[in-house]
Structure formats: C-alpha cells, structure tokens
C-alpha cells in the first residue's frame, strides 16, 4: 500500500523529534517560529540562518531535519542543503520552498505535542 507524502513526512518528523535528546525548549521554540521566518525571509536566508547557528543543538537538528528529508525526497547527490539551494534554478527553488514549508508545519505540530514547556 502506497502512503501519501504527508504521511511519510509525519512519520519522518515523529521519528526525528522523538530522537531529539537535548533541551527541547529551544527546538520547540524554533519549530514554532521557523515557518514564519521561512515565509518572511525566504528559503535561502532562513536556511543560511540555521546553518550559521549550528553550534546550537536545536538549530543543527532543524537543519538536519530539512537536509535529510529533501536529500532523500529529491534523490540529491549533494550532501549539504545550503549548497543545493544556492545552485538550483528558480523552479526547483520554489519546489524546495513548498516542500520545506510543509515539512516545517509537521515539525511544528510534533514539537508542540511531544516537547513539554517544562522540558
């Protein structure tokens, strides 16, 4: 039986958020704010911001969530999300933006549900 893309996203995000072992408050906060950041600043700037904050576990994890999903979804050979984004044409950029926005909505849902405020 074939599952739809949203079911695949939900399963992927659930597994990734459950593995998140560091202080969850920062990831929860980032998950709540990132879709707005993506919408306001665009994909390139938002992903560059995540990459610049890689010393923080929550930002590194969010970057990896996006990187791993898009790499497997689109069958990309390039390992790094930022390198892929900076080398794509405008059509691919729009497709990536929509895909990452959908993924971020799932991340936000699961982070809010699975990570307690008092974590």
Q: What is the pLDDT of residue 33?
A: 95
Q: Tell me the pLDDT tens digit for each residue of 73-93.
A: 998 888 899 999 999 999 999
Please give the tally of structural domains in the chain.
1
Model's pTM, two decimal places? 0.87
Q: What is the CATH number of the domain that holds 72?
A: 1.10.520.30
Q: What is the pLDDT of residue 119?
A: 42
Q: Which residues of 19-44 are buried (b: 16+ CB within 10 A; e: fewer)?
A: ebeeebebbbebbeebbebbeeeebe
Q: Does pLDDT of 1 surpass 50?
A: no
Asked whether residue 20 is domain-assigned, the answer is: yes
Asked whether residue 91 is domain-assigned, the answer is: yes
Average pLDDT along the chain = 88
């Amino acid at each position: 039986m074939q599952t739809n893309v949203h079911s695949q996203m939900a399963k992927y995000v659930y597994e990734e958020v459950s593995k998140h072992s560091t202080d969850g408050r920062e990831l929860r906060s980032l998950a709540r704010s990132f879709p707005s950041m993506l919408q306001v600043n665009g994909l390139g700037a938002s992903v560059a911001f995540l990459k610049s904050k890689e010393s923080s576990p929550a930002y590194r994890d969010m970057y990896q969530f996006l990187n791993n999903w898009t790499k497997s979804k689109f069958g990309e050979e390039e390992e790094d999300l930022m390198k892929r984004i900076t080398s794509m044409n405008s059509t691919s950029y729009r497709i990536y933006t929509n895909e990452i926005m959908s993924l971020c909505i799932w991340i936000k849902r699961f982070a809010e549900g699975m990570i307690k405020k008092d974590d």
